[in-house]
Chains A and B, each alone.
Chain A
Amino acid sequence: MRSSYLSILIIALIISGLGILSIYSSTYQKEGEFWQLVYKRQLLWAMVGVALFFLMSGLNYRRLWDATYVLYALAAGLLFLVFILGVVRLGAQRWLKFTWFNFQPSEAAKLIIVIFLARYFSRKSIESVSLQVSGLGAIRSLILPLVCVGVPMLLVVEQPDLGSGMILLFIFIAMSFLAGVRARYLLIFLGLLCASLPVFWHFLHDYQRDRLMVFLNPNIDPLGAGYTVIQSKIAIGSGEFFGKGWLAGTQSQLRFLPESHTDFVFATFAEQWGLVGCIGLLLLYYLLIRQGIQIACRTSDHFGRMLALGISLWLAIQVSINIAMNMGLAPVVGLPLPLMSYGGSSTLVTFIALGILVNIDKTRAVF
């Protein structure tokens, strides 16, 4: 279908264009060569991303089926590498240093986990073409994949990157739900998860606990952990209906808002474009995700269907958590806004995922 191909590309380009405008507006006043280059780098990432998008859209997604275990091993290996020799930045060890850029394997891990689960859940029995998962027992339908997801997840959480770890968990829950794992198992699993939350509390770092406490009440520590949330809310709220205008946002440009070009780029955008711009942006994301879900519905191949659903839901979860976090409705966890936030790994992986989506639709048409 040419239409889905074009509309996904156009929407993605508009969103990343808005992202670059926001990144530019939040960094152009900052001194230093690094800041002057930030938006140019993001422009470069977006261009490389579009190229990868074209590449992936031409590459038959069935090959991913074959490469699943290689990819999984690659992801786990990279995460393990981060664990031993990653670059420490902002108090976290998330990056692998390559010659000219720092790669964040946890971004790639999200996509690879989606691919892995799509393959796992679309195994067919020999006699029937229908999905087999609903007939499987708890061990094979839930515990085995959980263990497979759990290994990279633990490595990610250990970095520490709680946000990406949560995304992996959410992806797992969403995909096992869609794959038809028995509701009974899912409910028990969720119940156990809730019950074990107090135990996890002990494994959290102090700053992560602070952030969770601050999420419950940002005014506990307005100049410390709560500062970002308060400033981000002020930035979004002060946009009012039509925003302060591009390059006129005081919160982001005068540096009251930390991380205004990465995790809090939405607040930067909202301050300058107001409610009108925000609703527009939400609509764009929704259309993008809807395209993905529709592609999944049109696909008869189980693997392609699960893959498309997984990618769409991953985007949906990450977009909504990031925006909610910007508005103070979710705890502050380090999560980029796909396509908008500054960051090479995230941008490239998102474009690759979109390329896969388009390819699923194209391949279906070819069948």
Chain B
Amino acid sequence: MVHDAAIPAGIEPVYTAAERQGIYYSAAMWTPDLLELLALDLQISGRDSLAQIPGRALLDAWCETLAVFRDPGSAERQTLDPVLPRLCQLSPAGLEAGLESVLGGVDRDSASKLQRQADGWTSENSRSPLVILSLAANLPALAVQPLLPALLLRCPVILKSPSSEPLFAPAFVNALTERLPALKPALAAITWKGGDISLEAPLFSVADRILAYGDAETVADLESRAPERVFAYGPKTSLALMSDQAEPTIVAAGLARDIALFDQRGCLSIQAVFTTDDPNPLARGIAVELDRLAERWPPGPIDPVAAAGVQQVRMEAALRGLTVADTPLRTGTVVIEPEARFQPGPGLRTVRIHPLASMEQLPEILMDWSGQLQGAALAGDSAWQLCPRLTELGISHFAAPGELQTPDATWHNGGVHPFTALTGDELRDD
């Protein structure tokens, strides 16, 4: 039976049978004392063990593990594939595409780049904090993005999975520690019900740092209980910009991919497209490509709340006489919105296309969203020339259409270097 925990030897929680979405697995039962013991154990034994691991060995084990999880035929994937789509509420093909997108971003080339930065990392307070990585709900494989920098800095880690999807992180950690046993004392991937103050208090008293993916309320709660030790990756949104120098039919395929991946639930999922070109060919192109992707990567079960929002968008657009691509709701929704303003959509692969008179309009349009923006897919030279101004608004990741959802390992999520997020220290160049 699949376990929801990957833990060092000597830590022995009681396991009980658990069920979620019709999936049965073995769930570890955590107590405050046991969590504290785990944290102390990782802090002491884990640091020592991590310090002995050569960088090359770490990188090799990392890449081998990635390869296993990118291979649908591997034993690990064969175990996870029947259950993970249901837990994540994605289709099997949608999950496959999402995994490939995230895992592909932290492969050898970009992991090596980050490792070189780790080697050159200097700070007044060099240390390897014990880090709790509290993961977002239902975006599979997100664990790899904060995990790699933590390991490269030789930080012992507790990966806390959301209770809605407790299986990927332990499976990944088990596979990694199998390939590099020296990691075993330094890593744990577990889950518990978040927000349980008495359960978490001893753990939080030991942890040096907590990286949290979650909404404002979750983050505020953590910050109140672990002051000055929380780094938050709050919810954010992304967009695309296309100038009239780009070819809409080519751009449309990439944009559709960035819209459809993870059923538009990621912070790098595109919610709106701005263009200085005629919006009609682009809108048609995106609608056609979303239709194709609905075959190749069918959407997961339709969330009624999201569907309610999409119906509102569709019907409001129809009432206003806007151009709405005639596609089934589950395929996606494309609306040409003449008003030059930005707002996130209701999800389910919904996108608004906004015509602009000039690129210069965009920073002003996005001003009220400063700090809530994550990525921008850019097509055409004059779109790329806007990067500095978009960076000032907090956009941390720029890519060509189709590549937005595959940030590499050095990505400054939220505009912050991954090492700074882990340690609180600024990166210095030697």
Do the two chains bind? no
Binding site for B on A (CB under 8 A): none
